[in-house]
Structure 1
Amino acid sequence: MRVYLPCTLPALAEVLKAGELGPAPLTGYAVTPALIEWYASGDTEELEYVAMTEAARASLRLLAAAGPGVVARRVVIAAEVPEEAVAAGTDPAERGRVEVRKPVPLRKIASVHVDDPAAIPDIEAAIAALPGADAGDEDARFVVDGAEDHELMWYARQEIRDLLA
Structure 2
Amino acid sequence: MRVYLPAGPALLRELQETGRLAADPERTAYAVTPEVCAELGVGADDEEAEYAVLAVAAADAVALTGEVARRVVLVLETNATAREGALVSVPHEVPLKRVEAVQADDADAEPLVRAARDGDSSATAALEDHDLGWFATQELGQVLEVLRG
TM range, smaller chain: 0.7 to 0.9
Give 1:23 deviation, angstroms: 3.1
Structure showing the higher helix proportion among its residues? 1
- RMSD of aligned C-alpha atoms? 1.6
- Partner of residue 44 from structure 1, selected from 43, 46, 54: 46
Q: Structure 1 residue 48: deviation in Å?
A: 0.7
The equivalent of 2:14 in structure 1 is: 14
Q: TM-score, normalised by structure 1?
A: 0.80
The Cα shift of 1:144 comes to 1.5
What TM-score do the two structures reach when normalised by structure 2?
0.88
Q: Deviations over 1:110-132 (max 9, x none)?
A: 00000001210111011111xxx
SS in 2 for 1:89: strand
Gaps of 5+ in 1: 64-68, 130-139
Taking the aligned partners of 2:47 and 2:75, their CA distance within structure 1 comes to: 13
Please say if residues 28 and 87 of structure 2, whose CA atoms lie closer than 8 Å, have aligned partners that are also in contact: yes
1:58, 1:23 → 2: CA distance?
19
Deviations 1:80-115 (A, max 9, x none): 103xxx11113xxxx211111112111110000000
CA distance in 1, matches of 2:71, 2:96: 19
Aligned sequence identity (%)? 39
Deviates more, 1:38-47 or 1:54-63: 38-47
Partner of residue 121, structure 2: 141
Is contact 1:4-1:52 (8 Å) kept? yes
Partner of 1:100: 90
